[in-house]
Amino acid sequence: MNTQNAIIGGVVLIVLAVGGYSIYRATSNGDGAANVAGAGLTATSTDPATTVQGQDVRVGTGREAKPGDLVSVLYAGKFTDGTVFDSSAAHDNEPLKFILGADGLIPGFQVGVNGMKEGGQRLISVPPTLGYGAEDVKDDAGNVVIPANSTLVFEVELVKVEDAPTAAPETTPEE
């Protein structure tokens, strides 16, 4: 059983490393603009329909976020007209915590956060292809929260970068 768990753990790490590689390419280019080409896209893509755009408002001085890290962010998600659809403020100002590069968040948001440093603030524009796509996002009551094909703008502050928790090795009693 220990060998099986070790193999599964190794496969998970490989998947995170390979899947997160394209996100890792998104780093600051030194002039305050974030080079945040999307997963599977070339860094030279200038097509706004397939490229995450980012602008550093403040470059942080702490640890840099990389795929596989556990990151904590404060954010406000808006439509291009400025209407807020979600924010940390709506969740008691609790930072959103996630493992960068793992499933669970839209790819464009993760691409935009990648390469930020603790204490940094970034504006991130996510095209529909790297956001929620061609389907409406609805709440539990069936109301449209995010219309199909919406470009999303996020104001993000990177609060903390940590090593992601690792699964504790399984121990067996000695005989």
The per-residue DSSP string of 98-129 comes to EETTSTTS-HHHHHHHTT-BTT-EEEEEE-GG
What's the sign of the alpha-carbon dihedral 96, 158, 125, 15?
A: negative
Number of helices (H), then strands (E), belonging to the chain: the values are 2, 10
Q: What is the CA radius of gyration of the chain?
A: 18
Q: Is the pTM of this model over 0.75?
A: no
Domain 2-163 CATH class label: alpha beta
Q: Is 42 left (phi over 0), alpha (psi -120 to 50) or beta?
A: beta
How many angstroms separate the CA atoms of 18 and 161, rounded?
20
Q: What is the DSSP letter of 64?
A: B
pLDDT in tens, the chain (175 residues): 444 444 333 333 333 333 333 333 333 344 444 444 333 333 335 677 789 999 999 999 999 999 999 999 999 999 999 999 999 999 999 999 999 999 999 999 999 999 999 999 999 999 999 999 999 999 999 999 999 999 999 999 999 999 998 866 565 565 5
Residue with tokens 């768990």: 5
Q: Which residues are known catalytic residues?
A: 75, 85-86, 106, 132, 154
CB atoms within 10 A of CB 42: 11
Count, residues in the chain? 175
